[in-house]
Chains A and B, each alone.
Chain A
Amino acid sequence: MSESLIEVRELTKVYGADDTEVRALDGVNVDVQRGEFVAIMGHSGSGKSTLMNILGCLDRPTGGEYILDGRDVSRLDKNELASVRNQKIGFVFQSFNLLPRMSALANVSLPMLYNGTEKLSAKDREARAAKALESVGLGNRLHHHPNQLSGGQQQRVAIARALINQPALILADEPTGNLDSKSSVDIMNILHKLHQQGTTIVMVTHETDVAAHAQRVICVKDGKVISDGRDGHSPCLGQAVGGGNETE
């Protein structure tokens, strides 16, 4: 197994054809090592969301290669992609995306239902979900429904859900975009802790102070990587990149 968890080679994504052709990604090359905490920054329309979708195996590239955890996933079919998402990737969304009618425990258990390789009994699933919720500090909120939880608590449930199948990669899409500053700090602290425990995290954001938490910041513009800096030495951090709070 190679050192890189993610190897992206000459990745392109083209929408439309001929005159209306839009190159959302135009030859992107990125490597992410195991255990890295990477932020991807860019304006609306820069292609960072498209990159995120492909890294998350929600979409397939038009051209190029995407090797995740040693496996080329750029040409997989829908079913194979679904199982890669289930096994290798944990998603954290800006709007939490918890199912409103389910308890925190049931929401966290959801990815285990779709786990085809590790079939757990209902009891084991519950125990594991409870443990995951405890690890994000919600051991006393197991049976609360999302509407009984604060935004920060909901996002912590979402993080517990992302971790439940022990994925190789956590993909966080604007994880603090809908949160107040105090909750944002809590969530970033949790992501930090996960990083310290060796989890690989790729986070999309347009907020420089959030991106500053990452070891490494990749800047995307017009479908290309324009900078890739480590330890605070990213040209992106020097200037305001985002435009407001919009999501793509």
Chain B
Amino acid sequence: MKLSEIFGTAWEGITLNKVRSFLTTLGVIIGVASVIIMLAVSAGAEAAIAEQINGLGANLIIVAPIRGVPGASRTLLLDDAIAIEKQVVGISGVTAEQLPPPQTVKANNVSLDSIPMIGTTSSFPSVRDYPVALGRYFNNDEDERKSKVVVLGSGLAKDLFGDESPLGQTVTIGTTKFTVMGVMSPKGMVADVDYDGRVYMPISIVIQKYMPTTTLGGDRVRTIYIKAESQEKIPSAIAQITSLMATRHEVPVSKPDFTVQTQQDIIATQEATTAAFRDLLAWVAGVSLVVGGIGIMNIMLVSVTERTREIGLRQALGAKPSDVLLQFLIEAVILSLVGGIVGVLSGVGGSYLFGSLGSMRTAIVPLSIPLAFGAAAAVGIFFGYYPATRAAQLDPIDALRRE
């Protein structure tokens, strides 16, 4: 029997009960689609994380305190940032940041509650690759003199002043009046922080006015960002920073109370988490594909039983065991391949749909398409083989006698 004829015969078997064939295929469709969607979702999450972290600025080294390390009594100080800037070679800039509690901001007739604040040193725009769009950033002098000046995020400037120029205008933060020196360029959300909605002010003012006084002497900061001169200088800079900080904090290098990381380190850490998550999702999706395969086997067994008489007749008319085997095997494979095709289409469509909903980013992994499709075909052959051999081994006399 020619293969095309066997295909025809198998197709007739499938169309015999369309609803049942569709429901059987549904298992594979869901399996294949979920493999593709799960991988697209986790690839999308990875891409989003990498983009956000890279969005912090280029060639950055990030120093942050570890809290709760036994014996670590000190946290990061503004003096640490100054010391790094003076002593470490191969860096082009250092900035320190501190985040005070959100404040009420008033300008003209507008009053906005809970506006996030950030205190930085004057080098913030250059270290973080985040330029000022209008006016200028405060300089080092203004920072040291604790001048009451601020720079506004682009969105906040619009909210407070509309189309009016905010430059030189006065804003009241809490009860203190500040002069607006500049407006930052639009940046959007990076790592869950809305850069356009913040007030940027000298870190000296933040430490003086908004942070509880430290009992340890010195001015605590939240994060220190160091910009290396180039990618190649990063390892040496990290080594210098680590040893300098350990000395300043009087802790052994092996047991620091701070972390020194690059963006790549952070991306790698994040990716390790998402990779584990992705593998889990892929396994779950893979299991659903196998369950779909069991569905095919189940329905093929029912089909063989129901069509025993047909099988007997075909045998009487000259069908060899191999003809019967192929007929039912190909039927199972067609079911799973159709499920595979529809599953790939709905997986790709579903990935785009999830991505367009906005809450989630998706990136279709090209390899996942042949992978899922191939797995569907393999499932069809694997789970179709047993029912097909059952059909092929039927005795024609018994089969013909069956009602």
Contact = CB atoms under 8 A, between A and B. Distances in A.
Interface of A: 53, 56, 58-59, 78-79, 82-83, 85-87, 91, 93, 97, 99, 101-102, 110-111, 113-116, 119, 161, 165
B1 interface: yes
Contacts of A91: 316-317
B114 to A, nearest CB: 70
B7 to A, nearest CB: 12
Contacts of A116: 1
B311 to A, nearest CB: 11
Given A58-B397, A99-B313, A114-B314, A83 B320 contact: yes
Contact of B323 (A56, A87, A114): A114
Contacts of B322: 79
B2 A119 contact: yes
Interface string B308-320: 0110011111111
B320 A58 contact: no
Contact of B317 (A79, A85, A119): A85
A113 B10 CA distance: 13
B5 A113 contact: yes
B396 interface: yes
A53 B315 CA distance: 13
Interface of B: 1-2, 5, 9, 12, 16, 309-310, 313-323, 396-397, 400
Q: Which 9 A-B pairs have the closest CB atoms?
A: A86-B318, A114-B318, A82-B320, A111-B317, A97-B313, A79-B320, A58-B396, A114-B319, A85-B318
Q: Give the one of B9, B12, B400 with max A CB within 10 A.
A: B400
A37 B9 CA distance: 35
A87 B309 contact: no
A58 B397 CA distance: 6
Nearest to B16: A101
5 contacts: A86-B317, A101-B12, A111-B318, A114-B318, A114-B323
A173 to B, nearest CB: 9
Q: Give the one of A56, A102, A114, A161 with max B CB within 10 A.
A: A114
A116 B1 CA distance: 7
B318 A59 contact: no
A124 to B, nearest CB: 13
Contacts, number: 59
A78 B395 CA distance: 10
Q: Give the one of B9, B310, B318, B400 with max A CB within 10 A.
A: B318
B399 to A, nearest CB: 10
Contacts of A114: 1, 314, 317-320, 323
B261 to A, nearest CB: 68
Contacts of B314: 110, 114
Contact of A97 (B2, B9, B16, B309): B309
B400 A97 contact: yes
A37 to B, nearest CB: 21
Contacts of A87: 318
A79 to B, nearest CB: 5
Given A97-B309, A114-B1, A53 B397 contact: yes
Q: Give the one of B9, B310, B314 with max A CB within 10 A.
A: B314
Given A85-B317, A110-B317, 8 more contacts: A58-B396, A58-B397, A78-B321, A83-B318, A83-B320, A111-B317, A113-B9, A119-B2
A204 B160 CA distance: 102
A83 B316 CA distance: 10
Nearest to B309: A97
Nearest to A106: B12
Contacts of A82: 315, 318-321, 323
A104 to B, nearest CB: 15
A161 B309 CA distance: 17
B133 to A, nearest CB: 73
A59 B16 CA distance: 30
Contacts of B5: 113
A111 B315 CA distance: 10
A194 to B, nearest CB: 18
A52 to B, nearest CB: 10
A56 B316 contact: yes
Nearest to B2: A119
Contacts of A79: 320-322
B310 A99 contact: yes
Nearest to A125: B5
